[in-house]
């Protein structure tokens, strides 16, 4: 078998060298590869590279090291023809090898430039091609597992806080701190709508309420941080940190709470995270699916955007990308507001508002996915499965907080 493996590796290398030689010419037009991809005729991998499927031994006749060596050579050959199978993380070399060999006769467009991503998954939990090797379609964690990296206590925020010492403060720095504190307190100003920023979609550029949003005003004030040099940026971060700290201390003092006692009490609290709610896991799983789908269909989307095949594709893709992490964040806030101990009216109010904007985001994503599916019918299977996931999440969120849709968002629904 070792002799045959060596011969097969030489055959793969020969096919790779042929691809490099045949494709060794420049194409300057960016739109050329897009047109080539969209107008090209799909061909069998075996026919293009000149190697038939029967040449590849089954994995039961190979050692793990032989599988890995062959897989590396096969993937290198495919890349020379600008093809790449998009596998989820944690898929073993054996599974990858078997999958590629099984799909060696599948048809794909061959382009001289630009990588053509080949889908390996349709995001159907019931027909998973990688059972036991991928959790993209599954809930991230079981009901008893709290070890998710986003859970409280897993991130050391102290390392993110800029250092600050009283010795560094001078008159100009104190003036800047007071200015930022004033700006942070401005939500009480009459021309701002209280809480409007908590239940918006975050798209400030298209929002008609920016002049009434204290969050937008503060962010605009601080935007110049990115325009300055590194030293000035560090100074501004220290100003923001100091201003925030002083506001918190002032509020605690006003309520008769000793800051040192409060910190000591917090240190003694048990921050063991609670198990994630099923809605949170569904929302996070959707975000992971979107990441995988976009990676697997990058060429398809970019080609249609570049050639202006349909102007809505770019807008729909932007919508899906924008809400990819937004939905899990708002679902998390909604769930926590309804399930934490010692709930109060304020937390229920915020939970309903968070659920409503999450539902609005889901609605927009459903519409965007439907539009993309109509313009790219060959992706119908995977998109339908994503739509089913979103539809289930939407239905269960509406059931969990029945009056979320009726929530009146400050400014937007008044």
Q: Given a cut of 90, is residue 326 above it in pLDDT? A: yes
Question: Counting Cβ atoms within 10 Å, is residue 283 exposed (0-12), middle (13-18) or buried (19+)?
Answer: buried
Residue 49 lies in a domain: yes
Secondary structure E strands in 227-294: none
Residues 84 and 22 in one domain: yes
Residues 324 and 228 reside in one and the same domain: no
Per-residue CA distances from 170 to 97, 167, 249, 365 (Å)? 64, 8, 21, 50
Same domain (yes/no): 255, 287: no
Query: Residue 218 sits in which domain range?
Result: 160-268
Average pLDDT for 289-302: 89
pLDDT value of residue 169? 60
Residue % of the chain over a pLDDT of 70: 79
**Are both 254 and 293 inside the same structural domain?**
no
Kindly state whether residues 255 and 286 are assigned to the same domain: no
For residue 162, pLDDT beyond 60: no
Q: Decide: 107 and 138 in contact? Cβ < 8 Å.
A: no
Instruction: Give yes or no for residue 223 having a pLDDT over 70.
Output: no
The last residue of a domain, from among 231, 246, 268: 268
| Strand pairing class (83-85; 116-118) | parallel
Same domain, 114 and 169: no
Sign of CA dihedral 367, 371, 376, 377: positive
Average pLDDT over residues 275-280: 89
Whether residue 134 is contained in a domain is answered as: no
Q: Are residues 297 and 390 in the same domain?
A: yes
Domain count for the chain, please give it: 3
DSSP string, 28-88: --HHHHHHHHHHPPPEEHHHHHT--GGGSPPGGGS-HHHHHHHHHHHHHHHHHTTEEE-PP
Higher pLDDT, 36 or 88: 88
Mean pLDDT of the chain: 81
Are 291 and 248 found together in one domain?
no
Cα 17 to chain center, whole Å?
37
Residue at which a domain ends, from 87, 118, 149: 118
Same domain for 360 and 308? yes
Residue showing tokens 């596998």? 87
Residue 355 lies in a domain: yes
Of the listed ranges 64-78, 138-152, 179-193, 332-346, the one predicted with least confidence: 138-152
Asked if 92 and 177 sit in the same domain, the reply is no
Establish if 258 belongs to a structural domain: yes
179 and 87 in a common domain: no
Q: State pTM to two decimals.
A: 0.76
Instruction: Tell me if 147 is assigned to some domain.
Output: no
**Residue 413 domain flag:** no
Distance CA 189, CA 200 (A): 20
154, pLDDT greater than 60: no
Q: Looking at the chain, how many residues does it have?
A: 414
23-50 pLDDT, tens digit per residue, is: 444 444 455 666 777 777 889 999 999 9
- Residue of 243 and 383 predicted with greater confidence: 383
d(CA 333, CA 291): 22
Q: Specify which of 137-146, 207-216, 264-273, 363-372 reaches the highest per-range mean pLDDT.
A: 363-372
In a domain, 145, yes or no: no
pLDDT at 343: 66
Q: Which one-letter DSSP state was computed for residue 142?
A: -
**Residue 372 above 90 pLDDT?**
yes
Q: Kindly state whether residues 84 and 175 are assigned to the same domain.
A: no
List pLDDT tens digits, range 118-151.
888 888 877 888 887 776 665 444 444 444 444 4
Domain boundary among 268, 290, 322: 268
Query: What does the pLDDT read at residue 235?
Result: 73
pLDDT for the residue 149: 40
The pLDDT value given to residue 220: 75
Quick one: pLDDT at residue 147?
44
Tell me whether residue 405 is in a domain.
no
């Amino acid at each position: 078998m070792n002799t045959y493996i060596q011969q097969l590796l030489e055959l793969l290398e020969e096919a790779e060298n042929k691809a490099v030689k045949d494709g060794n010419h420049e194409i300057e037009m960016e739109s050329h590869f897009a047109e080539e991809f969209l107008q090209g005729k799909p061909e069998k991998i075996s026919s293009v590279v000149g190697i038939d499927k029967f040449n590849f031994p089954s994995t039961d006749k190979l050692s793990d090291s032989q599988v890995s060596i062959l897989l590396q050579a096969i993937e290198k050959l495919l890349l020379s023809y600008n093809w790449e199978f998009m596998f989820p993380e944690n898929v073993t070399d054996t599974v990858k090898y078997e999958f590629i060999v099984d799909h060696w006769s599948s048809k794909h467009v061959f382009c001289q430039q630009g990588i053509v991503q080949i889908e390996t998954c349709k995001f159907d939990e019931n027909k998973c091609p990688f059972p036991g090797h991928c959790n993209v379609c599954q809930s991230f964690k079981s009901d008893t597992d709290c070890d998710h990296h986003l859970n409280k206590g897993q991130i050391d925020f102290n390392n993110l806080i800029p250092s600050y010492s009283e010795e560094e403060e001078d008159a100009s720095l104190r003036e800047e701190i007071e200015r930022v504190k004033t700006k942070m307190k401005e939500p009480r100003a009459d021309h701002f709508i209280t809480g409007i920023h908590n239940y918006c979609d975050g798209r400030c550029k298209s929002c008609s309420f920016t002049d009434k949003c204290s969050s937008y005003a503060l962010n605009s004030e601080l935007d110049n941080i990115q325009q300055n040099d590194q030293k000035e940026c560090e100074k501004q971060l220290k100003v923001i940190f100091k201003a925030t700290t002083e506001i918190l201390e002032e509020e605690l003092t006003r309520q008769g709470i000793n800051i040192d006692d409060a910190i000591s009490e917090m240190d003694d609290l048990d921050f063991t995270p609670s198990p994630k709610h099923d809605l949170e896991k569904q929302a996070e799983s959707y975000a992971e699916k979107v990441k995988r789908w976009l990676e697997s269909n990058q060429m398809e989307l970019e080609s249609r955007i570049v050639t202006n095949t349909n102007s809505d594709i770019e807008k729909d893709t932007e919508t899906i990308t924008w809400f990819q992490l937004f939905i899990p964040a708002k679902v998390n806030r909604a769930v926590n507001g309804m399930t934490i101990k010692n709930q109060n009216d304020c937390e229920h109010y915020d939970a309903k508002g968070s659920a409503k904007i999450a539902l609005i985001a889901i609605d927009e994503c459903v519409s965007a996915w439907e539009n993309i599916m109509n313009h790219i019918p060959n992706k119908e299977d995977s998109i339908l499965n994503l739509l089913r996931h979103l539809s289930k999440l939407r239905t269960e969120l509406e059931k969990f907080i029945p009056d979320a849709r009726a929530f009146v968002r400050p400014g937007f629904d008044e």
